[in-house]
Structure 1
Amino acid sequence: MPWENKRFELFLPVTVVCLMIVGLLALYSATRDLGLSFVRKQLVWDVLGVGAMFSMLFVRERYLKIAGKALYFVSLFLLVMVLFYGTVSGGARRWFDLRFGYFQPSEFARLALLVLNATLLAEPNRKNFYSSFFLTMICVGLVAIEPDLGTALLMAGIWFSMALASQVKIKRLLKVVAVISVMAVLFFFFGLKDYQKDRITSFLNPGRYAQGSAYNMLQSIHTVGSGGLLGRGFLKGPATRLKFVPKNHTDFIFSVIGEEFGFLGTLVLLVLYFVVCWRIVRAVKLAKDEFWRLLCVGALATFSLQVFINIGMCMGVAPVTGLPLPFVSYGGSATLFLSIHIGLVMKSIAIAKSGVEIQV
């Protein structure tokens, strides 16, 4: 086993497992009337995720740095194929039905873009920068067609975070930002369906859409608020039990935690997320080279943006996008690939520790 693998990060996997346990408890509460099937499936994905996380320690650094293009083209193929052969649910075609579970190609695409963009932006010359931008926008467009606007916007946000953290010339970045802004305005007015526009605008005036696109959000806000300081108790939340909040095992699982464990419960959850972000920030500072630094920046953007957007939509301060709460919401692909993101951060820290003694 390579020397660096013997000095792996401990806080990250322990904190992630704690988040998974919180998720399993909330999932059981939200789905207990349906038996244990959801909990069992998620437990399997959690175990696979932890395995994938530690397996990243055994990936050779030189192989990872040259894998970006291959991963990207595989993800591109999967994103195209899912538009034709994917399973339709809620009017969207985002998943492949693998019989033992569902696979979401956009999650794989996010991982591929993370590695590819870290490789390209590590040497941010003109060619690499614009290649990074256009290759990312192709994936963003394909994901938006599914439609999965939340993940598409998240991909764009992750790319921008990595580009901003790179050594790219600010003039080039500003040009691209201007192009994206114009495209976003045009896409909003001419590319989005009415229900998608309502989702974006409803959080600004939820009362107007109380019986429509803002219904889930308002129910979530009321449910979280009803938990008070200490919560109503595990398995004792009436809104959770009576399904007042739709999709409370996936997109709105934060409402379950807020109702049953109260403000203190949600505070503990936020502290766990803060620990994960803090350790990734540490990885950014310790990174061996620009590739690993940007890869950790991308992982940090992925994790922090997803947490903020999910909790924000549950509390009415962000549009409803359908992004799951990392390691807590029910979902196989999201858990697996987010675990791989964390595993890559662990690999970066292990490599950094192998070269120099680090004072924490």
Structure 2
Amino acid sequence: MPWENRRIDLFIPIIVALLMVVGLLAIYSSTRAYGTSFVKKQVIWDILGMAALFLTMLLRERDLQRLSWFLYFLCFLSLVLVLFFGTVSGGARRWFDLKVGYFQPSEVAKICVILITATILMRKTIKNLILSFLVVTSMVLLVAVEPDLGTAILLVVLWFSVVFCSRMSLKPVLLIMIILLALLPVLYFFGLKEYQKERIISFLSPSTFRQSSAYNVTQSVHTIGSGGPTGRGYLKGPSTIWRYVPKNHTDFILSVIGEEFGFIGISLCIILYSLLAFRIANVIRLAKNEFWQLVDVGVMTIFVLHVFVNMGMAMGIMPVTGIPLPFISYGGSSTLFFCIKLGMVEKSYAVGRTGKEMEGGQLW
């Protein structure tokens, strides 16, 4: 059948396009008081993102592994430069102002962690494990200095997920984990800024800080709850109209969906994300070799973490971290690099199907 001969999983770009449509609707609703500039910019980034998804598939397999080290040095340099020349927003220096949009180097770091770890761990030695840990740690520390604690923690979790899915011995991996967990109290008391500590405390006791650090979360929870099963209707949410929830076009965009489309709207988003995760899981099964398997696992991890943390944050069951909701939150860098990650998954799908057919294996 023609469908079986395709070298692309069409479900992935279709699901991404549907999520982008949901995002544009929510962005327009939350920013219409400022005109249509936010929506127009996001449309441009969505188009660029979809183009990047398909262009990433054109990379040759061997070039992708070679690219990992070049990408690491480029990422490391950009993370250093952003600390000196980046744009300051909310006390953090995380972005380069490109005039047509903002570029966030930490988004490149997520791809870099996946590729560099998968490349290094092709050889199962303690030396390579330590090398990958040191390489990732260098990026984690630079991201944490911006400061962007949420992304820094996400990079660490991402590294562990890829390592655990490799065939490395678990003893040294567990030892590294135990050491990091033992250092958490030191990090809390001596490494975190006061507002970061307050976010953690406010998460544990939101009622105490509902007028300060827990204000955003408190308003988001109330707004989502007010939507009920079916929502108040598109463009009819009072909290969205009067902007009671800060950053409701970026970090807390789920509050807009929950208020205007209710439980059904949020459930639809969860279903779309679940379908996307299912398609990536299928690509993992078809992976040509361990390198592609680890790349796919890394991409799966990054998406699941983003969705779980962002939705949990908006519902008050996770601390505030500033992690966007994939393809729905307003943002150019996140959309572009999410699409590039899925482009790598599509490339894995293409080479995996080719390999299975050459071996005479069964395809699903």
Q: Shorter-chain TM-score: which interval?
A: over 0.9
Counterpart Cα distance in 2 of 1:163 and 1:105:
23
Q: Indicate conservation of the 8 Å contact 1:96/1:102, yes or no.
A: yes
Q: Indicate conservation of the 8 Å contact 2:26/2:256, yes or no.
A: yes
Deviation at 1:5, TM superposition (A): 10
Report the equivalent of 2:41: 41
Report the equivalent of 2:320: 320
SS of 1:200's partner is: helix
Deviation at 1:248, TM superposition (A): 0.1
Kindly report the root-mean-square deviation, in angstroms, between the aligned alpha carbons of the 2 structures. Answer: 1.2
Deviation string, structure 1 residues 97-138 (Cα, Å, up to 9, x no partner): 011110000101111221111111232311111111111111
Counterpart Cα distance in 2 of 1:185 and 1:118:
30
Counterpart Cα distance in 1 of 2:5 and 2:43:
26
Q: Indicate conservation of the 8 Å contact 1:5/1:347, yes or no.
A: no
Q: Indicate conservation of the 8 Å contact 2:353/2:363, yes or no.
A: no
Report the equivalent of 2:258: 258
Counterpart Cα distance in 2 of 1:317 and 1:324:
16
Q: TM-score, length-normalised on structure 1?
A: 0.97
In the alignment, is residue 27 of structure 1 matched against residue 27 of structure 2? Answer: yes
Counterpart Cα distance in 1 of 2:304 and 2:5:
26
Report the equivalent of 2:80: 80
Alignment-mate amino acid for residue 62 of structure 1: R
Moved segments of 4+, more than 4 Å: none
Report the equivalent of 2:14: 14
SS of 1:179's partner is: helix
Report the equivalent of 2:363: 359
Report the equivalent of 2:238: 238
Counterpart Cα distance in 2 of 1:41 and 1:209:
35
Alignment-mate amino acid for residue 265 of structure 1: G
SS of 2:293's partner is: helix
Q: Indicate conservation of the 8 Å contact 2:288/2:356, yes or no.
A: no
Q: Indicate conservation of the 8 Å contact 2:356/2:363, yes or no.
A: no
Counterpart Cα distance in 2 of 1:327 and 1:124:
35
The equivalences for 1:273-292 within 5 A come to 273-292=273-292
Deviation at 1:198, TM superposition (A): 1.4
Report the equivalent of 1:110: 110
Change (3 A) 1:5 1:63: farther
Report the equivalent of 2:331: 331
Q: Indicate conservation of the 8 Å contact 1:253/1:328, yes or no.
A: yes
Q: Which runs of 5+ in 1 are unaligned?
A: none
In the alignment, is residue 186 of structure 1 matched against residue 190 of structure 2? Answer: no
SS of 1:116's partner is: helix
Counterpart Cα distance in 2 of 1:308 and 1:122:
29
Report the equivalent of 1:341: 341
Deviation string, structure 1 residues 119-158 (Cα, Å, up to 9, x no partner): 1123231111111111111111100000011111111110
Percentage of matched positions with identical amino acids: 53
Change (3 A) 1:5 1:351: farther
Deviation string, structure 1 residues 25-74 (Cα, Å, up to 9, x no partner): 00000000100000000000000000000111110001001111110000
Alignment-mate amino acid for residue 359 of structure 1: L
Deviation string, structure 1 residues 211-252 (Cα, Å, up to 9, x no partner): 111110010000000000000000000000000000000000
Q: Which runs of 5+ in 2 are unaligned?
A: none
Change (3 A) 1:107 1:5: farther
Counterpart Cα distance in 1 of 2:272 and 2:223:
22
Deviation at 1:7, TM superposition (A): 1.1
Q: Indicate conservation of the 8 Å contact 2:231/2:260, yes or no.
A: yes
Q: Indicate conservation of the 8 Å contact 1:5/1:58, yes or no.
A: no
